[in-house]
Every structure is written in C-alpha cells, then in structure tokens.
Amino acid sequence: MEDAEYLDYQMVEMRMKKQGMKHLLTLTSMENLAVTYSKQGKYEEASKLELKVLDMRKRVLGPEHPNTLTSMANLSRTYVDQGKYEEAEALQLKVHDLSNKVHGPKHPDTLTTMDNIANIYLQQGRCKEAEALQLKVLDLSKKVHEPNILIP
C-alpha cells in the first residue's frame, strides 16, 4: 500500500507542476491519493485532502457538478471511517438533496446516496430508519431497472 501512496503522490506532484491545482486531472489524482490514505487508515490525511479537492471542485465546477457531489460523498465516507457519523450524515444528506435536484429521484447516483445514508443510519444503530430507507431504495430501483435475466 505504501507503493500506491508513493505513486499517487508522485502523480499529484507531476500534475500540479504541469497542469496546475485547478486542472480536473490534478483534482482526480488528489482524490485518488485521498482514497489511498483512507485504505491505509490515514483518515486525517484523507479528510484534509478531500476537503481541498471539494473546495477546488466547488470553485472550478460548481457546487452541483457530479464530480463535486462525488467529492462530497467521498468525504462523507471518510467521516464514517473516522466514526464521525453526525458529520457524515449531514454531508450525505446534502449530497442526496443536490443529486435529487441535479439528476432526479430515480437516478442511480441519487439512489446510491440514499443507500449511503441508510448505511450511516446502520452505523449509528438506527436500524428501523435504515431499513425503511433501504426498502425505499429497493422499490425505486425496481421501478427504474428491469430485473436481470439469469441464463443458466
């Protein structure tokens, strides 16, 4: 995992020098490094970097851009990993509201945000709320997607 961190860090450095901090590929490389930090359990480093990426994406792409929403969702996941459930929930609820506005209530990204919220509820021991939300996601998913046909 240290090799991945080293390579991700080198990519960030190279992209910053060649393309600058605001370039979309630089921001993607920074987000990749943050994911690596999270997988290593370096949650503080991950959340600091994710906050930088989120701030820059809001400025460059706008607060409702799908990449900005992804950054918010990633930061929320890191908060869950840190046990910061209230912060994670608040951020994921915001992601859901924006995704609902941008994509609509039946879009796969919006459904994913609902599932993420349900998982946060589970982490908090709010099982009935989690179950209700997961059933809603399941119901909406059935309306959106045709069932998979299994061929033996």
Q: Which domains are present in the chain?
A: 44-144 (1.25.40.10)
Over residues 101-132, the pLDDT tens digits come to 999 998 999 999 999 999 999 999 999 999 99
Please state, for a pLDDT cut of 70, what percent of the chain lies above it. Answer: 94
Please state, for a pLDDT cut of 90, what percent of the chain lies above it. Answer: 73
Band of the pLDDT at 148, cuts 50, 70, 90? low
* Distance, CA of 35 to CA of 30 (rounded, Å): 9
Band of the pLDDT at 22, cuts 50, 70, 90? confident
pLDDT at 149 over 70: no
Band of the pLDDT at 151, cuts 50, 70, 90? very low
Taking residues 74-103, report their average pLDDT. 96
Spatial contact of 51 and 75, defined as CB atoms under 8 Å apart: yes
Residue in 34, 112, 22, 36 with CA at minimum distance from that of residue 71: 34
